[in-house]
Amino acid sequence: MEYEVVREIQNQCPNNQMRDIFFEEVETDDPVGYVRNLLQGRAVSVSVEHGAEGAVTVYADCDGLIQKFVFTPI
């Protein structure tokens, strides 16, 4: 399945409220597996929310850094 993925990374700097945001198109049948593979080699815990029309949101806590991946079907 093809998805547009929006990846948000929380900024850890105390004086910076902005987030790093990345966009890409990926082809995968397993959004959670995609995230785990992307963050491979690190201590990662994930939680998943399923939204309307096939959207999947994966939250990843990677060594204390919170990342949010929103997979929207194309």
**What is the span of the domain harbouring residue 54?**
2-73
Q: For 15-33, what is each residue's pLDDT tens digit?
A: 766 778 999 999 999 999 9
| pTM of the predicted protein model | 0.88
Tell me the per-residue pLDDT of 57-70, one tens digit each, with 9 for 90 and over. 999 998 888 899 99
**Number of domains comprising the chain:** 1
Give the 3-state secondary structure of residue 22. Answer: strand
The beta-carbon contacts of 53-56 under 8 Å, at least 24 apart in sequence, are 54/1, 56/3, 56/31
